[in-house]
Structure 1
Amino acid sequence: MANSIKALSLAAVTSLLLTGCNKVTQENFEKIEVAMAYSDVTTIIGEPDNCESLSLFKNCFWGDNKKQISIKFVDDKVTLKTSKGLTP
């Protein structure tokens, strides 16, 4: 019984920590500005989950189908940002 309680407590704490580490938020999305450098963006929201690159163009995505930030870069500078599923 005590082991079950410890396991559940550990699972709950781990879940909270993982949720707290998610940087795909409306607040962070609003910090990103046009012409901002790629390195500054990754400082705010971390490394992207996926990027598609073609020459000087790069489309990067953070998050999943429910909650996502998408940023288009030209020469490693933000040119367009969009979001999906973020709440203020």
Structure 2
Amino acid sequence: MPLRRFALLSLCVLLAACSKLNQENYSKLKTGMAKAEVETLLGSPTECSGAAGFSSCTWGDQQTFISVQYAGDKVLMFSGKGLK
């Protein structure tokens, strides 16, 4: 049984280390980037909303997130919190 727990814990640590929500990827975001470029960098967003040619997408949760606002298909501005 202890071996299973160790394997599960190791997998969780490995998955957390592979998160795309990190300071390195955040620093790669630039205004004017295409939405497809952002999704290649960060993966699929947790949620998106928008109207009238503007949209906002968020990756993560309340403690750790990256939020990107778009005008059409291009990054207008972005913010992040809790990134390591």
Q: Which residue of 1 aligns with 2:56?
A: 59
* Equivalent pairs, count: 84
- Please give the TM-score of this superposition, normalised by the length of structure 2: 0.91
Unaligned runs of at least 5 residues, structure 1: none
Which is higher, the Rg of structure 1 or of structure 2? 1
Q: How do 1:62-73 and structure 2 match up within 5 A?
A: 62-73=59-70
Cα RMSD, aligned residues only: 1.1
SS in 2 for 1:13: helix
Q: How do 1:19-58 and structure 2 match up within 5 A?
A: 19-58=16-55
Residue 81 of structure 1, CA deviation = 0.6
Q: Which residue of 1 aligns with 2:77?
A: 80
Query: For each residue in 1:19-45, what CA deviation from the matched residue of structure 2 results, as whole angstroms up to 9, or x when unmatched?
Result: 023111111001010000000001111
Using the alignment, how far apart are the partners of 2:15 and 2:83 within structure 1?
A: 17
Residue 13 of structure 1, CA deviation = 2.0
1:17 is matched by which residue type in structure 2?
L
Segments of 4+ moved more than 4 angstroms: none
Residue 55 of structure 1, CA deviation = 2.8
Residue 60 of structure 1, CA deviation = 0.4
- Please give the TM-score of this superposition, normalised by the length of structure 1: 0.87
Using the alignment, how far apart are the partners of 1:38 and 1:19 within structure 2?
A: 24
Unaligned runs of at least 5 residues, structure 2: none
Using the alignment, how far apart are the partners of 2:53 and 2:68 within structure 1?
A: 14
